[in-house]
Structure 1
Amino acid sequence: MTLAVALAAGAGPGESRKRSRESEQDDLLTLERVARYPPPGTRVPVNFRFSDDGRYLYFLASEGNGVVRTLIRQDVASAERQVVARPPQEGPETGLTPEEVLRRERQRIQEKGITLYGLAAKADVAVFDWRGDMYLARPGKDALRLTETPSSEIDPQVSPDGTRLAFARDGELVVMDLATRAETRLTVGAREGVSHGIAEYIAQEEMDRSSGFWWSPDGTRIAYTEVDETGVPVYPIVHQGKPAWEVESERYPFAGGPNAKVRLGIVKATGGETVWVRLEDAGSDFYLPRVRWDEDGTLLVQVETRSQKSLKLLRADAATGAATALLEDRSDTWINLHEDLRPLRDGRFLWSSEASGFRHLELRARDGALVRHLTSGDWAVDRLEGVDEQGGWVYFTAAKDGPLQRQLYRVRLEGGPIERVTAEPGWHTVTGSTPPPRLRASFSRTAPAGRSA
């Protein structure tokens, strides 16, 4: 490769040898390269998502060699790429509230520029936040600034039809009409230690749940959490590396100490009274690791005991708040959380369980009854990646063919033999879109370099 570049540039033998030596130096794994950010080999596109019609694949990537990320979309058919939005301006990211700083830390975000974005489920509309304000991404145009307030907007999520935007500000949940920019505050009562629509520390740090609210599929309602941390002790953090000592006070739930009290409510997107989901059977000390809407307008809620030895799946009525238990997973040690709950159009749903000692996929009836096991064996499903309901296929990744690689497989919804989809050896990461059924798979291995398809 070095020789070809040198000849193309018209370089002489001496220059060619010099560039060859420089290339060899670049290939050396030194302590400096290991400690540098981003680490070698990690400057790759991230946060892949398909548009609602499957025509475009959205992702974040650096346009150069730095860590400033841009929102890009690629035409699936032609592979043509287009910049959807660039950061409005570069430089130090100022204006972040303490809550935003903590969210970035808990999500391990160290990059600059556009680090997160929201995409409508049923419209080609994308939004992102930048330095505490929200922007509407417009392909071929400058990003449109939606807010300019003293307070920061947190966790912007666009409605399924792309007409409204929900976010948290000053501990309250707010909805904006994107056409008029008129705002409607959906909650009241936030104060120091009490917030609405913001995930608490344990949910963000320990359970991989960074959001505290969820749009219903039809966009008429929003489920949200109310978090009361007033009983959690305040812990002082002393920053001694600054010119003057600075003390930061945070509420920290110590092991065995009081946790935040969390309630789950449902409110109309146009405003009104909150319907509280009745979780009395969960007791007074529990976690809400996962919340998801079903297509029929009911709410699927996962409730875990503080001991993390029991995980229940509940179905809640959005109009009354009444909740019915569908199933319970138990363990003598602890329950590993997962993202494998997938409601189907016919009312059934997919679930995964480690009851056998290995995580495997199950098809469940609407009431939670087991229909059939879809996978089994002395190997574990890593993640449910997508469902092609029309074709009758379930796609998942697993280390079925050995612990040093993760491959993409598929199995029929009605059961049958498992088929391997990916061919290259290595570790595959998959992004799915249904409908239409599309999958993006990337893989990494020692040599050659990883690729995306």
Structure 2
Amino acid sequence: MTSQKLSFPRQHARTQRFTLGAPRAFTVSPDGTRVVFLRSDSGTDRTNRLRVLDTRTGEERVAADPEALLGGSAEKLSPQERARRERVRDGSAGIVGYAVDDAVELAAFALSGKVYVAELSAGTARALPVPGPVIDPRPSPDGRLVAYVTRGALRVVGAQGDGDRAVAEPEDPNTSYGLAEFVAAEEMSRYRGFWWSPESDRLLVARVDDSAVQRWWIADPAHPGSRPAEVGYPAAGTANAEVRLFVTDLDGGRTEVVWDRDRFPYLARVHWSAHGAPLLLVQARDQRSQLHLAVDTESGATRTVHADEDEIWLDLFAGVPAWAPDGRLVRIADEGGARVLSVGDRLLTGPRLHVVSVLDIGDSDILVSATAGGKAPDPETGQTHVYRVNELGVERVSEGVGVHSAVRAGGVTVLVSASPEHPGSVVRVVRDGRRIATVANLAQEPVLTARVRLTEGGARRIPCAVLLPTNYVESDGPLPVLMDPYGGPHGRRVVAAHNPHLTSQWFADQGFAVVVADGRGTPGRSPGWEKAIRDDFVLTLDDQVDALHALAERFPLDLSKVAMRGWSYGGYLSALAVLRRPDVFHAAVVGAPVADWRLYDTHYTERYLGDPAARPEVYADNALVTDEGLSRPAGTVRPMMIVHGLADDNVVVAHALRLSSALLSAGRPHEVLPLSGVTHMTPQEQVAENLLLLQVDFLRRSLGLPRA
């Protein structure tokens, strides 16, 4: 096989971290006869095709092929579509997302700026004659219409291409209808801005006005003739976009939805189903209070269904809030130190489960994703399972050690399972507990095997993963250590799956003992574990140190040669390690770090650190560059390699430049590796491959290790 001739860095880059060829984005028809999903044709093919699996026969067919629909022409992406894909971190091509009607008979998707629809039973697909470039087309529940956004306007067209018209048009260049604002897409996981009524006769439409949002310019210094891109970036303490919501008729008539937007400016979730009135979740800017609101679609008035308060912060969860079929509110709540499933006024789970998301709400049960709650025992480290929950109890659906997720409808469940023992994931289609089909995974098999040991370290039982060189034997003695964390909010790295540890194993095979630790602030354990870092990100570094020292008692770790590498929050943590604890860490690879939290966005940063105007000392204490850190004696100055994409519009390159400038002023040695044309992702094959190789070279030089 050609893949066997590739080095791991090249294969890892070429396969986009082994995601190409893996099926994703599953939908099950309400009669259980069809499973719709996306997958490319191989482990190196970026072009996703829309596919349908017949659960009665197990046969699979292509419902929409981008190459055929485009006639072999290259795909063209608008700047808005590129920005949307950056928010969801999608580096693939072709059909990267789709939406369906209630019957799962009609699918709509955007391709090269145009609207396409596919009749899933008939197997036909076609473009609709509408203006573009198009964002986020979605069929009405009855399948007769398709709504879509173009140039900030929400439009509706018949599924046969007839009757195209605008239902909401922007008043000026700073307003848009039907799109999610930056912080909603980047931080709230709300990627859409319009929602169909169950009767297909109206829509809820978000209006975004970002005229008050400060403007930044993202330049490409490698191409000085190119004009910088202007972006509205709501940095901590500055103005957010104004978001309003309208009940909008198909003829353009509209009624504004009214709530206290001054107190609750964040529109975090919208749910509209046949089981009740439209349901909103709105948050205060400090995210310590939120309201679940039911909307009167005739008057636009709202009533409070439930209110939440938390003295630290309130989290957002996938799949909720929503109505159960009997009209009760389904939500995930932090109660009694546990994260639990609540239906109406009843808590259906307890402290033994830490509920992560709601996957499906059925007539007699609710399907959830959850981890072991509280202080999980060592055997449960890194696992996520699927459970059926109702008032009679809790039943685990997924089997075996691993990370599991699911989609369900029509009595059919699609279970996606990854384990530490095998690469990739297995997709099983199950009815009544019996497998009726398997969805093929065409991702390449890695040229190396991750040999991960999942364990815990320190008095706080910090979840850890340890990887040693493939051929390591005890007589080889202690190994230089590479800490390889994300280590912060939203990012769980210690998981009971194979592929997430492949890069760590590759670094281990270069002669390191690699340690991944999920300290306080990381998800999946308990609300208290996540919220311990309020006002103090340095706690995440303390846990890395504690895990390192605890594991050194059981594993061959040479504590005289310890480095850390990371990206994004992991990059911040790596820089923090050598600046604050040079007694422990001797070198760092610092990828896309947040050097100054005043330059990061509102919804994320203010949740953890508050308002920078009211609490400047908190921001100063958590910044990378402090007088204390820069005044270390010369003997404790540690080398760092700072890596940053110049096109990054999430963690802008100003962070790396300001960090480098401060280090230079203090006479501290460091290297800067600018990545031209690279965003917060690094999907470019050559860049991703060489970035791994350059990191190893830097680590060897910095720790005084021989070159390979």
TM-score, length-scaled by structure 2: 0.56
Alignment partner, residue 380 of structure 1: 354
Q: 8 Å contact 2:52–2:61 — kept in the other structure?
A: yes
* C-alpha displacement of 1:51: 2.1
The Cα shift of 1:59 comes to: 0.4
Quick check: 1:405 aligned with 2:386? no
Q: Which residue of 2 aligns with 1:393?
A: 365
2:467 matched residue in structure 1 = none
Match of 2:46 in 1: 67
- Supply the distance in 2 between the matched residues of 1:127 and 1:403 (Cα, whole angstroms): 40
**Which residue of 1 is the match for residue 223 of structure 2?**
242
Q: 2:84 & 2:200 partners in 1: Cα distance?
A: 26
2:40 touches 2:49 (CA, 8 Å); kept in 1? yes
Q: Check the 8 A contact 1:123/1:160 in 2, yes or no.
A: no
Q: TM-score, normalised by structure 1?
A: 0.86
Please provide the CA RMSD for this pair.
2.1
Judge conservation of contact 1:117–1:126 (CA < 8 Å) in 2: yes
Q: Are the aligned partners of 1:190 and 1:196 in contact in 2 as well (CA < 8 Å)?
A: no
- 1:7 aligns to what? none
Structure showing greater relative contact order (alpha-carbon pairs closer than 8 Å, 6 or more residues apart): 2
Question: Residue 325 of structure 2 aligns to a residue in which SS?
Answer: coil
Asked if the contact 1:123/1:161 (under 8 Å) is kept, the reply is no
Structure-2 residue corresponding to 1:320:
299
More strand per residue: 1
Q: In structure 2, what is the equivalent of residue 331 of structure 1? A: 310
Is the 8 Å Cα contact of residues 324 and 362 (structure 2) preserved in structure 1?
A: no
1:406 Cα deviation (Å)?
A: 1.2
Report which of the two has the higher share of helix: 2
Encode CA deviations 1:252-295: one digit per residue, 9 max, x unaligned.
Answer: 11110111111010012x21421111112x42661101011142
The residue identity in structure 2 corresponding to 1:362 is S
Counterpart Cα distance in 2 of 1:23 and 1:267: 52
CA contact (8 A) 2:130 2:164 kept: no
Larger Rg: 2
Conserved? CA contact 2:357–2:370, under 8 Å: yes
Give runs of aligned pairs for residues 116-135 of structure 1, distance below 5 A. Answer: 116-135=97-116
- The answer on whether the counterparts of 1:166 and 1:173 sit within 8 Å (CA) in structure 2 is yes
Query: Gapped runs of 5+ residues in structure 2?
Result: 429-708
Change in CA separation of 1:41 and 1:302 when aligned onto 2, cut-off 3 Å: closer
Candidates 82, 85, 98, aligned match of 1:104: 85
* Equivalent position of 1:8 in the other structure: none
Note if 1:167 corresponds to 2:141.
no
Match of 1:223 among 192, 201, 204: 204
Which residue among 408, 411, 427 is the counterpart of 1:452?
427
Query: What is the CA distance between 1:47 and its match in structure 2?
Result: 0.6
Q: Percent identity?
A: 28
Query: Hey, what does 2:328 align to over in structure 1?
Result: 348
Residue 206 of structure 1 aligns with an amino acid whose one-letter code is E
Give the drift of 1:327: 1.1
Q: CA deviation at 1:85?
A: 0.3
Secondary structure at the counterpart of residue 401 of structure 2: coil
Partners of 1:426 and 1:444 within 8 A in 2: yes
Instruction: Tell whether the 8 Å contact from 1:286 to 1:306 is kept in structure 2 after alignment.
Output: yes
Report the Cα distance in structure 2 between the residues aligned to 1:272 and 1:129, rounded to whole angstroms: 23
1:214 aligns to 2:195 (yes or no)? yes
Structure 1, gaps ≥5 residues long:
1-18, 365-369
Q: Give the secondary-structure state (helix, strand or coil) at the position aligned to 2:207.
A: strand
Residue-by-residue CA offset, 1:358-402 (whole Å, 9 max, x unaligned): 2210111xxxxx1x110011441122122331xx22221211372
Read off the aligned partner of 2:342 and give its amino acid letter: E
CA contact (8 A) 1:388 1:437 kept: no
Q: Which amino acid aligns with 1:264?
A: L
| Residue aligning to 1:10 | none
Q: Give distance in 2, aligned partners of 1:56 and 1:84.
A: 12
Residue 297 of structure 2 aligns with an amino acid whose one-letter code is A
